Structure 1
Amino acid sequence: GPPPDVPRGWWWTVGCPPAVVTSSDCCAVTGGWRERDVARAHVQALTAERDQAHAQVQILTVERDQARAQATQGSD
């Protein structure tokens, strides 16, 4: 495994040395951290897209209501 004075996260940043990969010590742990971070970023991106879509729907709803109001005025 890694030297005790080296934090585990360090092993991911340098890329796992071949000797460490076989021990499944470095990539399994720090790789799991990285996957979790990627997943969290993905969720944040999806949340932002959802919020944008929600705002878009609100805009379209307002435009539809305005068009409907104009149509009813014109039909009088």
Structure 2
Amino acid sequence: GGSSESPNAINNNHGPSWRMVVEMTTPIKAWGVYPGGQSGNPASLNYNAFIQNWATGNHYELTLYQNAEQAMKSTNRKVILK
């Protein structure tokens, strides 16, 4: 519902893509889902990967790091802060 300016407005021509639910506790917990794959490219083999979950309202728990050091301990990627 709501108007076309509402954050979750849906009509025949457009609607939200990224969906995120945040529990404002300590620590913060969050869940989200983004259809269309990471790239958003319709030609990608992964484009349809999360569309069914998005359409049915199923979300994935998101990992939220408090700082770059915490992220580095949990991943095998480099975090570069500018």
TM-score, structure 2 normalization: 0.19
Larger Rg: 1
Q: Quick one: higher RCO (CA 8 Å, sep 6+), 1 or 2?
A: 1
Structure with higher helix content? 1
Structure with higher strand content? 2
